[in-house]
Amino acid sequence: MSSYRTLLRTVGPGYVAVAFLGRIPLAMSQLGTLVLVSTQTGRYALGGAAAGALAVANAIGAPFAGGLADRIGQRPVVLGQSIAGAAGLLAVVEVTSRDLPAVTIIAVAALAGLAIPQIGPLARVRWGPAVRDADDRVRLLDAAFSYEGAADEASFVLGPALVGALAVIANPSGALVCAAFVLAAFGSWFALHPTAALTGSDRVPGQARGRLFSAAFVVLVLAQMCVGMVFGGTQTGSTVLATAEGQPGLAGVIHATLGVGSVIAGLAVTGLPERVLYATRMLVSAIALLVLSLPLLLVDSIGPLMGVIALLGFAVAPYMISNFALAGHLVAGDRVGMAMTMLAGATGVGYALGSSVAGRLADALASHTPAFAVTVTAAGIAVVLSLGSQRLLRDARPPELAP
Same domain, 236 and 373: yes
Looking at 201, 218, 250, which one is the last position of a domain?
201
Looking at 201, 224, 240, which one is the last position of a domain?
201
Same domain, 70 and 121: yes
Range of the domain at 352: 210-398
pLDDT attached to residue 400: 47
Same domain, 247 and 170: no
Looking at 201, 223, 238, which one is the last position of a domain?
201
pLDDT attached to residue 94: 94
CA distance 87 to 67: 23
- Kindly state whether residue 49 falls inside one of the protein's structural domains: yes
Domain count, the chain: 2
The phi and psi torsions of 273 (rounded to 5 degrees) equal -70, 150
pLDDT attached to residue 177: 93
pLDDT attached to residue 401: 42
pLDDT attached to residue 249: 62
CA distance 77 to 9: 26
The dihedral sign for the CA sequence 249, 255, 260, 263: negative
pLDDT attached to residue 351: 82
- Kindly state whether residue 133 falls inside one of the protein's structural domains: yes
Same domain, 273 and 313: yes
pLDDT attached to residue 137: 77
Does residue 344 contact residue 219 with C-beta atoms inside 8 Å? no
Contacts of 271 (CB under 8 A, 6+ apart): none
- Kindly state whether residue 403 falls inside one of the protein's structural domains: no
Q: In CATH, what number is assigned to the domain containing residue 36?
A: 1.20.1250.20
Same domain, 215 and 159: no
- Averages of pLDDT over runs of 10 residues in the chain (403 residues) are 80 89 90 81 78 87 88 92 96 91 94 93 86 78 81 79 74 88 95 86 46 81 93 83 76 75 80 80 95 95 92 91 84 76 86 83 87 95 94 69 42
Q: What is the pTM of this model?
A: 0.79
pLDDT attached to residue 299: 93
